Amino acid sequence: MDSAGSAEALTQEILIRLDDRYAAMFVRIWQPSGTPRATVFCLHGFTGNGADFDYLATFLCRNGFLVICPDLLGRGRSAYLGSGYDINVYSKCLRALGEFAGTENHFIGTSWGGTILLLFLQMTRSKASKIILNEVPMLGGPRVDAMRNQVLKESALAFPTRAAAKDYLNGTRGVMGQVEDAVFNRYVDNRIAAGPDGFRLAYDPATTDNFGALAGREYDLFPIAAKIDARFLLIYGRDSEFIDRQAIARTRLTRPDLWLTDNVDPGNPPSLMTMDQALLVLGFLSAV
């Protein structure tokens, strides 16, 4: 079993056809030597991008998996649309990733990325072998609204220099736990984008345009997960605000194969950038 170290992915831009135009989606492709054991698709959180999975993808790739890490539209190096972000746009992004699908396909979704994944699988009835949901808020409510409000404030931030943007992100390091310096610095570098008025965090502020309509809206993703024919692992950090053990227990009455790891340290959400977390993911994906 190899450790995760520095490595580089192949990159590709995929054109996503929207109603009246095309938009480019940037994808990192971690190709193992030899025939892949399976394909793993990694979907980032709302304010993240595919580089958030560099550490985990390197590790999984060196253990035989083909790993696909997109920057969903409006994030990272992908096109910024300026408006119109909805589930249909993200569904087109995920459909386009089908060119990388193999005979066995696993999915990892962090927070919002896990939400988008579940809705996509419900809409398209696409097949998945194993699914890892990392700190996904499965139930709507005030805590989800508070998270959206924080993202809305952050989306408006602008920084005069890259160093100032790095200082802001360095202030969030405590939430991520004991991530190695080189890994954290790479994460930070991919979270900053240059713009005409300085530097911003690397996502389109317009992605938050529908937050007002979503405020106060309750939802429940557990019935969706219960109907998807795949093996699930739910991961939550030790200080998670989004785990609901009663809802998980109810879901397990019909889906006893719903696995839970609910005391992960460090990170909120778990960063998936430490060896113990990478081993947790590898173990689940490798299990018969």
Tokens linked to 225: 């997960």
Q: Rounded to an integer, what distance in angstroms lies between the CA atom of residue 180 and that of residue 183?
A: 5
**Residue 83: DSSP 8-state:** S
The β-bridge partners of 130 are 106, 231
**Residue 125: DSSP 8-state:** -
Q: Rounded to an integer, what distance in angstroms lies between the CA atom of residue 249 and that of residue 210?
A: 32
**176, 273 contact by CB (below 8 A):** yes
> What is the predicted pLDDT for the residue at 265?
80
| Single-letter code of the amino acid located at 243 | I
Q: Which residue has 């160093």 as its token pair?
A: 163
> What is the predicted pLDDT for the residue at 266?
67
| Single-letter code of the amino acid located at 175 | V
Residues 6+ apart with CB under 8 A from 183: 54, 55, 273
C-alpha 80, offset from chain centre: 18
**57, 42 contact by CB (below 8 A):** yes
**281, 60 contact by CB (below 8 A):** yes
Domain at 10-140+220-286: CATH architecture: 3-Layer(aba) Sandwich (3.40)
pTM for this model (two decimals) = 0.96
Question: What b/e readout covers 53-82, taking b as 16+ CB neighbours within 10 angstroms?
Answer: bbbbbbbbbbbbbbbbbbbbbbbbbbbbbe
> What is the predicted pLDDT for the residue at 1?
40
| Single-letter code of the amino acid located at 24 | A
Residues 6+ apart with CB under 8 A from 24: 13, 14, 15, 16, 78, 79
C-alpha 217, offset from chain centre: 22
**Tens digit of each residue's pLDDT, the chain (288 residues):** 444 544 689 999 999 999 889 999 999 999 999 999 999 999 999 999 999 999 999 999 999 999 999 999 999 999 999 999 999 999 999 999 999 999 999 999 999 999 999 999 999 999 999 999 999 999 999 999 999 999 999 999 999 999 999 999 999 887 887 899 999 999 999 999 998 889 999 999 999 999 999 999 999 999 999 999 999 999 999 989 999 999 999 999 999 999 999 988 867 789 999 999 999 999 999 998
Give the CA radius of gyration of the chain.
18
Tokens linked to 262: 């609910």
Q: Where are the alpha helices (DSSP H) in the chain?
A: 54-62, 87-96, 112-124, 142-155, 162-170, 173-176, 181-189, 211-214, 222-227, 245-254, 275-286
